[in-house]
């Protein structure tokens, strides 16, 4: 039993799980539409490359306005989410709170934005809440996890009868405060990405102009906007200072155009009429509702869900493969300083580019199939995991006579990191799913495509049902991922979140 | 130390941007705001429409502002939520908008709009040539519409496709896409990314004039029968807000617009009166193909 | 034939030499035990010997250098990565070949681990892990073995068996050993370190455990 290779693989839970995931992904791939439909993608690619080396910073109208809005939405949205998330983390043991957080973070910020656009219009509240609400759910979860994993030895030394709040303030918070600050800073980076991407659905941020520039092939302008975006992200550690935060928040609040009216009637109408299924509004009763729901589920939700799951599973496998390929690029165990620097630059660029923008660019180049989405998701997430795993390998010391080259990678490096790599990969499974759904807005027939169509047809009742299905799917994946990680005893470190 | 100094400068720059930045989309109570659906090349859209805003402001004697939007649906939503009071809509988006806002009316349309046309265009590799009959040979090819909410790029071509084949477009073609706007549809068919597409004839003519169409690569294969399309729609409650007869004033201003530079933004030769009833065929078609409930 | 010849060599980390004035010649076929209290520089000397060796050396490092997530087979097979092409190595990583696994199993028999062939090293006890590291060195295609306390985690009886095995399988064996009796029983030459210098270098037959005491005195 124990001494055949096949027997070993049969008994290894890791090997079995991986085999399953690979098999599922391969089956999905077999049915996937991954054609390159553009006739001459390389000519377009050449124009893109030319644009990237000749950025035009003067082409965008109201560029400063877009930069200021991008920063303002991110700062206000993330700050609000950190405050809300912190409060929720303290009561995260309540099942209802956990459920609430799971639901709000299962809906992508772009979907939140599409909803709030209906309720608040182009008011600043739309952008701020679209970021703050899903982020609060994420922050609450991570803050609660940090709190849970904190060293509780000091807690046990407290005199019995110490109040919960006192214990929290004196023992637990000081312990986790540094982690919270680090994580909040990381969230701000994510918030900047989200803020930019919100422009794709009409908020006046960098994405607004980026979408136009890319769609119309103005690559020099697009490049300039991308570079500005990279600079904002790359210099974040320099300008995002705690002491300046109040000043930033005041400035952000001051420049947003608050005067655009928010009407109570609009809000009320959205909740009491818009999202009420059409047959009910139209007095068709339960029979009408069931038929409406049936049609919606069969014609849109089902194909959308299939495509979403299909794309997610392929992208997950591709992300795993790319992560394994990327991490040695930044590992001191594999490469010297010069090689590593090049690796770092490459990984910074691909992981700073929101996958939505990456997919958008590839879609313009290759045409609308699943291929651009797969590649975009794998590049972005592979870049993030590769970076984290590569950083981890800095702590490894190999024996003096360790093999070199590919044998070193295969026998020494990969086996030592693959548990960590898989933990990160499965952790990002849910994130990949969220992005997969949203890529539908770009024309890939995932759930996002049908959500976008429903918004385009101003059928918010349908949109809401489809968004709810997307959220359920996300929660299901989140739970599956947690089970898989527990089954394989994979642990995610703070950085991986 | 260097890094610290840099950080301080950066922070100062960010704050300065914020402080000296004058908000541009302040839509105060007394400002009359309009928008236009983003149906074609958006480059310099803002500066083009700001000229229109200046013209209207002069004519109407109130502050007029233009707000850019990203999609047809966003234009409709802004109109519905009273964030814009006037909008240059397509046939379908206008119907959608007016259904949602009681008392709103279509007041003006382009000279060309009562008899608007969609061109079906094809890449040269399909070997299709122009005919007066609906080209049934397009079945099985790849096909792109324009925006999901477009009349000329989606509603009318889908109507004719369903009528001719008795099936939904997804079942007729091997691949169906939504390019987003008419310029993009032309570019996609010209590059061969899609074999066939449906495009607004005004945008086609415009792009042809500007030399952006290569007749060797893409050609018209069918012209739809005429139908009513773009129009200016205005909310019914503006009279109360901006003074009596305001709708009439706006209508007069639009009808008397004759500066070719302003008209080129649409692009139209001029504007003529319109009414809600003119668009009943569009509403019927929307219901027929299931875009409207 | 000399395998290593040190003539007044220095060794150490960075600028501060741990060892100085090293004069040491090692001939093929010798069994050498390096003794001395901890911190005397045994590990440093072993490293120097490995670096200066004219022939390939198989190594049993003090921290074993095992990959916990891989199986015993893979860790032992690693001893011969340099003898196979990349393709063979990668194939054996994913799907161990019949020939390779039976060769490794035969070797594991001798260190009494044959039932653990496909057990991940992370699941083994300390003594078992040490035997895996020894097996890896035995599997390596090198006539010289350098070991840093290779039997510190196994019991006395097993330790003698393993040392005998090393002696039988490798032409030249150089070991750092803290156990004086084991050292005298195994080696035919004892090299004593103290204060960063070689203070003793005599045939084991001429020495008793008491002769080694000065090396450990404060």
ipTM of this predicted structure: 0.81
Q: Residue A462: pLDDT band by 50, 70, 90 thresholds?
A: very high
Residue B21 has pLDDT above 60, yes or no: no
Q: Which domains does chain B have, with CATH numbers?
A: 31-113+228-278 (3.40.190.10), 117-223 (3.40.190.10)
Q: Residue A16: pLDDT band by 50, 70, 90 thresholds?
A: confident
The residue among A188, A458, A459 with the most chain B CBs within 10 A of its CB, best to mutate, is A458
Q: CA B207: distance to chain centroid?
A: 15
Of the candidates B209, B195, B28, which has an alpha carbon nearest to the alpha carbon of residue B125? B195
Better-scored residue on pLDDT, B20 or B168: B168
Is A253 part of the contact surface with chain B (CB cutoff 8 Å)? no
| Positions of CATH 3.40.50.300 in chain C | 1-55+143-218
Q: Would you list the domain boundaries of chain A?
A: 12-54+279-497, 56-274
Chain A contact partners (≥3 CB pairs within 8 A)? B, C
Closest in B42, B72, B177 to A212, CB measured: B42
The pLDDT tens digits of the residues spanning A236-276 come to 888 888 888 888 898 888 888 776 666 777 788 888 888 88
Distance CA A180, CA A147 (A): 9
The pLDDT tens digits of the residues spanning A112-133 come to 999 998 888 888 899 999 999 9
Distance (Å) from the alpha carbon of A41 to chain B's nearest alpha carbon: 9
| pLDDT given for residue A272 in this prediction | 83
Name the token pair of B94: 């206008």
* CA atoms within 13 A of residue C99's CA, in its CB half-sphere: 3
| pLDDT given for residue A403 in this prediction | 84
Distance CA A324, CA A386 (A): 7
The pLDDT tens digits of the residues spanning A468-494 come to 999 999 999 989 998 998 888 887 665
| pLDDT given for residue C80 in this prediction | 87
Measure the CA angle with vertex B276, ends B275 and B279; round to 5°: 105
The pLDDT tens digits of the residues spanning A294-324 come to 999 999 999 999 999 999 999 999 999 999 9
Class of domain C1-55+143-218: alpha beta
Residue A142 has pLDDT above 60, yes or no: yes
The alpha-carbon radius of gyration of chain A (Å, integer) is 24
| pLDDT given for residue B25 in this prediction | 46
Residue B41 has pLDDT above 70, yes or no: no
Intervals of chain C under pLDDT 70: 13-17
Contacts of B11 in chain A (CB under 8 A): 238-239, 241, 244
Residue B48 has pLDDT above 60, yes or no: yes
Closest in B19, B23, B188 to A257, CB measured: B23
Contacts of B185 (CB under 8 A, 6+ apart): B121, B144, B145, B146, B153, B179, B197, B198, B199
Are residues C118 and A3, on separate chains, in Cβ contact within 8 Å? Answer: yes
Give the SS3 label for residue B269: coil
Q: What are the distances in angstroms from CA A178 to CA A322, C55, C70?
A: 32, 53, 36
Round to the nearest angstrom and report the end-to-end CA distance of chain A: 39
Under CATH, which number does the domain A12-54+279-497 receive?
Answer: 1.10.3720.10
The pLDDT tens digits of the residues spanning B85-114 come to 999 999 999 999 999 999 999 999 999 999
Q: What is the share, in percent, of chain B residues with pLDDT greater than 90?
A: 65
Closest in A59, A255, A260 to B18, CB measured: A255
Does the A56-274 domain belong in CATH 1.10.3720.10? yes
C89 contacts A434 by C-beta, under 8 angstroms = no
Q: What is the share, in percent, of chain B residues with pLDDT greater than 70?
A: 89
| pLDDT given for residue B215 in this prediction | 92
The pLDDT tens digits of the residues spanning B141-166 come to 999 999 888 999 999 999 999 999 99
Are residues A37 and B6, on separate chains, in Cβ contact within 8 Å? Answer: no
B and C touching (3 or more beta-carbon pairs closer than 8 Å):
no
Are residues B18 and A62, on separate chains, in Cβ contact within 8 Å? Answer: no
Are residues A411 and C74, on separate chains, in Cβ contact within 8 Å? Answer: yes
Contacts of A389 in chain C (CB under 8 A): none
Interface of B with A in 204-263 (CB under 8 A): none
Residue A356 has pLDDT above 80, yes or no: yes
Is the fold of A12-54+279-497 the same as that of A56-274? yes
| pLDDT given for residue A496 in this prediction | 60
Are residues A71 and B83, on separate chains, in Cβ contact within 8 Å? Answer: no
The pLDDT tens digits of the residues spanning A373-416 come to 999 999 999 999 999 899 888 888 888 888 888 889 988 898 88
Contacts of B17 in chain A (CB under 8 A): 64, 67-68
The residue among A192, A260, A262, A444 with the most chain B CBs within 10 A of its CB, best to mutate, is A260
The pLDDT tens digits of the residues spanning A63-74 come to 898 999 999 999
Residue A1 has pLDDT above 50, yes or no: no
């Amino acid at each position: 039993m124990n001494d055949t290779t096949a027997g070993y693989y049969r008994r290894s839970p890791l090997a079995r799980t991986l085999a399953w995931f690979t098999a599922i992904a391969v089956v999905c791939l077999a049915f996937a539409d991954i054609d390159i439909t553009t006739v001459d993608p390389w000519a377009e690619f050449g124009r893109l490359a030319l644009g990237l080396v000749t950025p035009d910073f003067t082409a965008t109208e109201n560029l400063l306005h877009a930069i200021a809005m991008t920063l303002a939405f991110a700062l206000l949205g993330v700050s609000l989410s950190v405050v809300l998330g912190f409060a929720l983390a303290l009561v995260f043991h309540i099942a209802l709170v956990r459920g609430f957080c799971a639901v709000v973070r299962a809906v992508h910020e772009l979907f939140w934005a599409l909803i709030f656009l209906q309720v608040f219009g182009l008011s600043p509240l739309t952008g701020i809440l679209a970021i703050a609400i899903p982020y609060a759910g994420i922050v609450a979860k991570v803050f609660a996890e940090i709190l849970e994993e904190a060293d509780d030895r000091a807690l046990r030394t407290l005199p019995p009868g110490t109040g919960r709040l006192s214990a929290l303030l004196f023992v637990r918070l000081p312990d986790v405060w540094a982690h919270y600050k680090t994580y909040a800073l990381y969230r701000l980076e994510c918030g900047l990405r989200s803020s930019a991407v919100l422009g794709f659905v009409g908020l006046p941020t960098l994405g607004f102009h980026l979408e136009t520039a890319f769609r119309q092939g103005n690559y020099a302008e697009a490049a300039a906007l991308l570079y500005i975006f990279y600079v904002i992200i790359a210099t974040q550690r320099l300008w995002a200072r705690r002491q300046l935060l109040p000043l930033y928040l005041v400035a952000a609040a001051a420049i947003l155009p608050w005067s655009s009216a928010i009407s109570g009637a609009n809000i009320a109408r959205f909740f009491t009429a818009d999202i009420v299924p059409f047959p009910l509004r139209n007095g068709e009763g339960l029979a009408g509702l069931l038929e409406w729901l049936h049609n919606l589920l069969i014609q849109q939700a089902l194909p959308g869900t299939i495509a979403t799951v299909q794309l997610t599973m392929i992208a997950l496998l591709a992300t795993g493969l790319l992560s394994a390929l990327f991490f040695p690029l930044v590992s001191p165990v594999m490469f010297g300083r010069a090689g590593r620097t090049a690796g770092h630059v490459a990984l910074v660029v691909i992981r700073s580019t929101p996958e939505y923008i990456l997919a958008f660019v590839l879609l313009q180049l290759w045409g609308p199939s699943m291929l651009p989405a797969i590649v975009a998701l794998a590049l972005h997430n592979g870049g993030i995991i590769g970076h984290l795993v590569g950083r981890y390998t800095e702590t490894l010391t190999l024996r003096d006579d360790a093999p070199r080259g590919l044998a070193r990678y295969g026998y020494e490096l990969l086996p030592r990191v693959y548990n960590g790599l898989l933990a990160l990969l499965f952790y990002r499974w849910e994130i990949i799913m969220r992005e997969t759904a949203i890529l539908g807005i770009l024309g890939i027939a995932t759930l996002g495509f049908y959500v976008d169509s429903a918004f385009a047809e101003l059928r918010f009742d349908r949109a809401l049902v489809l968004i709810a299905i997307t959220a359920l799917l996300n929660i299901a994946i989140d739970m599956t991922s947690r089970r898989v990680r527990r089954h394989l005893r994979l642990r995610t470190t703070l950085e991986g979140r | 130390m260097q890094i610290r100094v840099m950080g301080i400068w950066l922070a100062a720059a960010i704050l300065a941007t914020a402080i000296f930045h004058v908000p541009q989309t302040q839509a105060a109570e007394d400002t009359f705001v309009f928008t236009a659906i983003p149906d074609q090349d958006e480059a310099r859209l803002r500066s083009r429409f700001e000229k229109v805003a200046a013209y209207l402001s002069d004519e109407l004697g109130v502050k007029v502002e233009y707000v850019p939007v990203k999609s047809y649906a966003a234009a409709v939503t802004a109109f519905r939520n009273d964030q814009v009071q006037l909008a240059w809509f397509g046939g379908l988006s206008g119907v959608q908008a007016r259904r949602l806002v009681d008392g709103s009316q279509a007041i003006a349309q382009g000279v060309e709009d009562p008899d608007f046309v969609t061109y079906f265009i094809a890449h040269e590799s399909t070997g299709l040539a122009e005919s007066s009959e609906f080209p049934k040979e397009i079945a099985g090819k790849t096909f792109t519409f324009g925006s999901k909410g477009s009349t000329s790029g989606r509603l009318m071509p889908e109507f004719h496709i369903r009528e001719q084949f008795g099936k939904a477009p997804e079942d007729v073609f091997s691949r169906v896409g939504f390019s987003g706007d008419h310029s993009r549809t032309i570019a996609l068919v010209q590059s061969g990314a899609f074999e066939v597409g449906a495009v607004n004839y005004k945008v086609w003519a415009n792009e042809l004039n500007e030399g952006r169409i290569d007749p060797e690569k893409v050609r018209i294969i069918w012209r739809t029968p005429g139908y009513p399309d773009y129009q200016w729609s205005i909310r019914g409650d503006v009279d109360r807000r901006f003074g009596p007869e305001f709708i009439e004033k706006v209508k007069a201003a639009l009808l008397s617009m004759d500066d070719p530079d302003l008209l080129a933004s649409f692009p139209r030769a001029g504007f003529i009166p319109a009414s809600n009833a003119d668009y009943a065929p569009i509403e019927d078609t929307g219901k027929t193909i299931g875009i409207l409930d | 034939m000399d395998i290593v010849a040190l003539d007044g060599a220095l060794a150490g980390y960075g600028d501060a030499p741990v060892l100085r004035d090293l004069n040491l010649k090692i001939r093929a076929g010798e069994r050498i035990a390096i003794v001395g209290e901890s911190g005397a520089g045994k590990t440093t000397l072993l490293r120097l010997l490995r670096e200066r060796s004219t022939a390939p050396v198989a190594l049993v490092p003090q921290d074993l250098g095992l990959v916990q997530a891989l199986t015993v087979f893979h860790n032992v097979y690693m001893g011969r990565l340099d003898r196979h092409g990349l393709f063979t190595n990668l194939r054996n990583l994913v799907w161990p070949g019949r020939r390779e696994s039976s060769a490794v199993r035969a070797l594991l028999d001798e260190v009494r681990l044959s039932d653990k062939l496909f057990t991940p090293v992370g699941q083994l006890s300390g003594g078992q892990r040490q035997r895996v590291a020894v097996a890896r060195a035995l599997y390596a295609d090198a006539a010289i073995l350098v070991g840093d306390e290779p039997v510190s985690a196994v019991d006395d009886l097993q330790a003698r068996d393993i040392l005998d095995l090393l002696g039988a399988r490798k032409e030249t064996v150089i070991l750092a050993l803290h156990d004086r009796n084991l050292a005298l029983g195994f080696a035919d030459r004892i090299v004593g370190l103290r204060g960063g210098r070689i203070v003793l270098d005599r045939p084991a037959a001429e020495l008793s455990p008491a002769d080694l005491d000065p090396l450990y005195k404060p």
